[in-house]
Amino acid sequence: DAGITQSPRHKVTETGTPVTLRCHQTENHRYMYWYRQDPGHGLRLIHYSYGVKDTDKGEVSDGYSVSRSKTEDFLLTLESATSSQTSVYFCAIGTSGINEQYFGPGTRLTVT
């Protein structure tokens, strides 16, 4: 794996509670991404970052926010978790230009 860790790896939470997932990289890559993976949908981009404090929305950003205060950390927050946000969340890092991405091990989130 390309120096990417995600925490926690598993989490169960209740509807309406806030949740924060962390992605940490040791590669000093400029770009970082958050995806969710659901059966029949493949991977869908939630948010991405192109530098410290520079972020933008992906195709399924509603209900999610992100922050990047350091190059190595990219946080994904569910402000008020809903059952539809039960999913496996993947962080990825990438370089500019060709946009080749490297993925973390994933976080399985269950919202009850």
Partner 1 sequence: AQSVTQLDSQVPVFEEAPVELRCNYSSSVSVYLFWYVQYPNQGLQLLLKYLSGSTLVKGINGFEAEFNKSQTSFHLRKPSVHISDTAEYFCAVTLTGTASKLTFGTGTRLQVTL
Q: How far apart are the first and last CA of the chain?
A: 31
State which residue, 2 or 16, has the beta carbon closest to partner 1.
Answer: 2
Output the six-digit token pair for 13: 């939470």
Nearer to partner 1, 64 or 94 (CB): 94
Residues lying near partner 1 in the complex (CB under 8 A) are found at 1, 4, 30-31, 33, 40-45, 48, 50, 58, 90, 92, 94-106
Residue 4 CB neighbours (<10 A): 22
Nearer to partner 1, 65 or 102 (CB): 102
| Smallest distance, partner 1 to C-beta of residue 30, A | 8
Least spacing, CB of residue 9 vs partner 1, in Å = 10
Least distance to partner 1, CB of residue 29, Å:
11
Pairwise CA distance, residues 29 & 78, whole Å: 24
The DSSP string of 4-24 is: EEEE-SEEEE-TT--EEEEEE
